[in-house]
Structure 1
Amino acid sequence: MLSYLRLSRKPALFRSFTGYTVKEFNRLYVLLEGQYRDYERRRLDRKDRVNVVGQGRDFKLDLEDRVLMLLVYHRLYITYTLAEFMFDLDQSNVCRNIRHLTRLVKKCIPLPQKVHKRVRKLRTIEEVEEYFPEFKAIVDGTEQEIPRPKNKRRRKSHYSGKKKKHTVKTQLLVNKKGVILHKTRYEPGSTHDYGLWKKTHPKVPPNVTMDADLGYFGIQKDFPHLKTHLPIKKRKGEKLSKKARKHNRKLSRERVIVEHVIGKVKKYKIIGQEFRNRLRHYNDSMDVVTGLVNFKVMLSLGMNVANYVG
């Protein structure tokens, strides 16, 4: 049986299975443990619960092992059948444990929506520079494959001409340090990047420059108040000038940060592989993964992750 005690003795395996070092896991666990008693009391005391507080079965695994199971599930995207044997639980209990802990984990990690809530309240130049180092932001969209929808209308709306597959699309806004400042809810794969921006664009301070790719062509015209940098588009039958090529290369070097962040997100197989779960759970899964990535990045930057609990 896999357990925290057993896996933590093999740091390389621990990181491979969870995406976290043992030290990072312990930092996360301290925050979860501090919120768990109140979270569990609210769960047991809810109005729609049939049993009174104190009735019902106890969890077979302790909190530490259940958190480990959640991280392993998101990192490796194992089936519930495999998790059943790894953690000595019934499949249905694996599912219930993960669903139950997801809300608690979301409460304790720096989700992009929590970070953006703080961004919206920035007032001074110093506050802006803390969240936007060098007064820069980078935006890009990412797609994930989903099973072919049975519904004909959904087959059409979720088909991505770029990927030649059925996908869902999410947009991320990151800063120069790799912190995810904003994440949209998923949209069908046929949605254009710029269409996604127009529908759910985040607030960007006026003194911050935002870098984007040609998928956001038109943003400078429709949002003139934003300071944006886009690659120079080559006209049909013409070649780009040396100055234009230099501009595009420089922008590409700056934009690689968002590609690295998307790469970190997709290392969690629940986001990097075909999404097998029901789409109604997709936003929760993406929230957990982007929050876990933010938690790790913020720890490396020396930021106080406890500020985002709640």
Structure 2
Amino acid sequence: MKKERIVISVCVLNLNPCYDHWVIIEKESPIPNVLRGDKVVKLVDGKGLNIGRVFNTLGFKDYLCLNIVGGEVGKIIESGSRKEGIKSKFFWIEEENRINTAVVFEYEKRMIMINEPGPHITNLEINKFISFFQQNLKEDDKLIISGSAPQRFESYHLMELINFAKKKNCEIDVDIGGTWLKEIVESSPPDILKINSDELKVAFDIDIKETSKVNEFRKKNHIKELIITHGKEGSWGFFDEILIKATPKKIFSDYSVGSGDSFFAGYLYGKEKKFPLEECLKIATACGIANTLHYGAAIFNKQDFKDQLKNVEIKKVVL
């Protein structure tokens, strides 16, 4: 049987996928130190897979997630991705992927998220993964870099991937935090950078409300589109000579795990469809809100998304 060729325009790096286990507790337990779940949600996770899940919901199929997987959990991630129809390829390592556990105390409107550290990757596995990546990235693709990586996968390894992509004339779109964020921006600026306002302050000591400083930062680092999410206040998009603000009219829940990934996927979807910038931000914000309607990351449906499009207010400001 002839193997189907996967045609893509968007390559999504998912270096540190995981399996999520959500336990929802609806009422306080009468037994001390014993929690009994009322509902359970299980799903494959990782920023790249979440982006793929939202792409599927919106009807966009020209993408491919490249995942690093290992062990029995890796098998679950592979099986779950295929079951959901998330277009993926898998690079196998020796150590096992992580399991993340969320305990939702619904009666108190709070939750605890427990994230495992994830696997270690060897130098040999890193070199083989770089070759795997180079074989799958095509000329003029868009490369989406989102989330963390296995332990021992260093920033210079990531820069090697980025530099290869730039030689292939690929657009680089980034949603990443920590030390990697600053290094990427200063060494090899992305075309699109999506960060939250806290990351902007910690990494670059810039407050989102200092719009002139934010725009100077964008220009200085040659970032074409700088998208900053600001919690319940929505998102701010900084572009050439214009600032676009997208604000939710109504917030339905404080459960925001996966909202950033859903937002980024919505924005990238709008870009792929060549929609105006304000429409891209509107779609992104609607996806972020829709994500809060259900437990688990990026598992809203098309109707949730359509309903929330009406819940987004757009405002343009000339810089």
Question: Same-fold call, TM > 0.5?
Answer: no
TM-score of the two chains, using structure 2 as the length reference: 0.25
Q: Identify which of structures 1 and 2 has the higher relative contact order when contacts are C-alpha pairs closer than 8 Å and 6+ apart.
A: 1
Greater helix share, 1 or 2?
Answer: 1
TM-score of the two chains, using structure 1 as the length reference: 0.26
Greater strand share, 1 or 2?
Answer: 2
